[in-house]
Structure 1
Amino acid sequence: MKVQLIINRGSGASDRGLNIEEFAKELTKEFAKSGHEVTSHMVPPSSIEQTIRSAMNERPDAIIIGGGDGTVSTAARLLGGSDIALGVLPMGTFNLAARDLGVPLDLSAAIQFLANAEAHQIDVLDVSGHACLCTTILGFYPEFASIFERRDHGGVWWKKTIKLITGVPKIFSHARHLNISWIGPNLIGHAKTKFSAFVPGSYRATAGIVPARTDFNCGTLTGYVGMQKTASSALRGIIDYVLGRHELNPELKVVKASELELRAHRRKHCTIMLDGEIMRLPFPIKLRILPGHLKVLTSSENLRPETEK
């Protein structure tokens, strides 16, 4: 393969002391063993999009992105619909996309994995023009996480997760409900919610504290609309999620569709978290699955539906 490597110098891995230049040399050397040719770019966050566009003009077989989930989401938006495969190096904090695609979190192991990976097509969730690979969250959590991230950028993922979970009761109690409605093909509904998540495919029904996606080629999205009213019920919902039994929670409404339009009573805008990136979108928010829209570097085993594993 001809590969363009693009590393975000503002990633969490950089904050944790990674020597980016030495890391790029290690990757280039490992890829050469498999006959791949690598061109490296190490750029600040403000130059990521332009660098990806320039790299695409070189017509590589793959563009490997080193950064957090926000950087990966930007690359997915630009590469979607092209013949260029996206490779993900886990250099952020939570690295949701890398986990979902089976890329090892250890960077040396990730290099070896990607050097021997194959290109496979997966679905992408279009969220009002933004590409979502993992999850889009509405409600109290994006605003809470935005404040939290400003004071703890680039921390260790499991420590940050524990801090986020323990901070939920207080923040949840003071958060306002979103009175949302949705409409899709042969589908309509509404709910008062403080937390909703929309996923391409669905969440795995397995124990763990970091969300994991499954069903990469099913052509549907899943909405998880929480109807909890108290902090204690929110904590029960979190416990059910951690134990992998979230879809059994009676205060969780599960919606499956190929596309949805979300509206909110008396709200014109909403703060959301899309693959770890905080942004503000106007209502209506339009969600649409794009089947097989993106090529990614992984293995067929990692993309097998959960029911077949």
Structure 2
Amino acid sequence: MMKCILLLNRAAGGNERGLVASEVCHTVQEIFREQGHQLLAHVIDPERVEEEIKKAAAERPDAIIVGGGDGTVSTAAGLLGGTGIALGVLPMGTFNLAARDLGVPLDIKEAAEFLAQAQPVPIDVLMVSGRACLCTTVFGFYPEFSSFFEKRDHGGRWWRKTLKLAAGVPKIFARARPLSLEWKGEDATGHARTKFSAFVPGKYRSTTGIVPSRTDFRSGAMTGYIGTHRKASAAVKAMLDYLLGRHEENAELRIIKARSLELNARGRKHCTVMLDGEIIRMPLPIRLDILPERLVVLTTPEHPAETSESTA
């Protein structure tokens, strides 16, 4: 039997799907009770997420299940990493990247059934200047475009937002100012002019699909994808290569692997980044560090164990 606490973010984007917080809590509680677990559920305000997670962790449950978007999940990952308390992800956001990576179904009832039968499994965490990243940290035109887009269309369905974002790529990419990005570390050093770069714990999976998914959850390394595309047409081709699962074959995409990196951008003191779906303005330099098996998550062993292409 597990002792669990469910914290459901009242402002999660998934509420746009017609999800009612009290009904979600009741559904999850019923399913966990049927599986022999004890679960206390709380609906929390977005400005109290960090405070409520700390409060729940002080009770030393076996697991804290977070219902919210990827920003809420990454906040929980930063607070629960190293505690031994397992993090469960209930997909209540828009894209739900962490849930998808961990194999959690997007339907709430199915997700609750999955989590009630899941096991605690350790995975790597990417720390970005002290902030936890479970899925991806993106630099360049995309965070700036998304920051503007999000103000007009917070929440909503992931596929609708994805199509709108994709349709706007050529125009936004063409007028975006490139970063003169520099990176240095024990495993990789270099520089490039880039309008789009992403750093992920593990690596992106080379499969067909719109929403990015990862593999190598316990490889002890991050992968950097640094686009050197200059023209909008090249960016569109890169996007198509990604959708078809052949992004690693794109000649204008530099791929690096490392355990730790320091990033800088010539002529800039700050940089806008998207960290697990949250838009943040961060001071430079930015430090990236992989913390091996830092966080325990509720999933099934076969999902994070898919490390056939791991890098030591």
TM range (shorter): over 0.9
* One-letter code aligned to 1:192: R
Does residue 167 of the first structure (1) align with residue 141 of the second (2)? no
Does residue 58 of the first structure (1) align with residue 63 of the second (2)? no
Query: How many pairs does the alignment contain?
Result: 308
Paired position in structure 1 for 2:44: 43
Paired position in structure 2 for 1:141: 142
> For the residues of structure 2 that align with 1:36 and 1:281, how far apart are their CA atoms?
41
Deviations 1:63-99 (A, max 9, x none): 0000000000000000001110000001000000000
Q: Which moved more, 1:129-138 or 1:26-35?
A: 26-35
* One-letter code aligned to 1:38: L
> For the residues of structure 2 that align with 1:154 and 1:11, how far apart are their CA atoms?
7
Does residue 295 of the first structure (1) align with residue 299 of the second (2)? no
| Residue correspondence of structure 1 range 98-117 to structure 2 within 5 A | 98-117=99-118
Paired position in structure 2 for 1:128: 129
Does residue 12 of the first structure (1) align with residue 13 of the second (2)? yes
Q: What is the deviation of 1:186?
A: 4.3
In the superposition, the TM-score normalised over structure 2's length comes to: 0.97
| Residue correspondence of structure 1 range 1-309 to structure 2 within 5 A | 1-305=2-306, 307=308
Q: What is the deviation of 1:26?
A: 1.2
Deviations 1:138-169 (A, max 9, x none): 00000100111111111111111011001000
> For the residues of structure 2 that align with 1:186 and 1:47, how far apart are their CA atoms?
39
Whether the aligned pair in 1 keeps the contact of 2:217 and 2:307 (CA below 8 Å) is no
Whether the aligned pair in 2 keeps the contact of 1:204 and 1:306 (CA below 8 Å) is no
Superposition RMSD in Å: 0.9
Hey, which bits of structure 1, 4+ residues long, moved more than 4 A?
Answer: none
In the superposition, the TM-score normalised over structure 1's length comes to: 0.98
> For the residues of structure 2 that align with 1:90 and 1:169, how far apart are their CA atoms?
31
Whether the aligned pair in 1 keeps the contact of 2:183 and 2:263 (CA below 8 Å) is yes
Q: Which moved more, 1:88-97 or 1:9-18?
A: 9-18
Q: Secondary structure at the match of 2:308?
A: helix
* One-letter code aligned to 1:46: E
Unaligned runs of 5+ in 2: none
Whether the aligned pair in 1 keeps the contact of 2:220 and 2:259 (CA below 8 Å) is yes
> For the residues of structure 1 that align with 2:187 and 2:135, how far apart are their CA atoms?
25
Deviations 1:257-293 (A, max 9, x none): 0011001111110000000000011111100000000
Whether the aligned pair in 1 keeps the contact of 2:129 and 2:286 (CA below 8 Å) is yes
Whether the aligned pair in 2 keeps the contact of 1:124 and 1:292 (CA below 8 Å) is yes
Q: Sequence identity, in percent?
A: 60
Q: What is the deviation of 1:307?
A: 3.1
Whether the aligned pair in 1 keeps the contact of 2:87 and 2:296 (CA below 8 Å) is yes
Q: Secondary structure at the match of 1:301?
A: coil
> For the residues of structure 2 that align with 1:186 and 1:296, how far apart are their CA atoms?
28
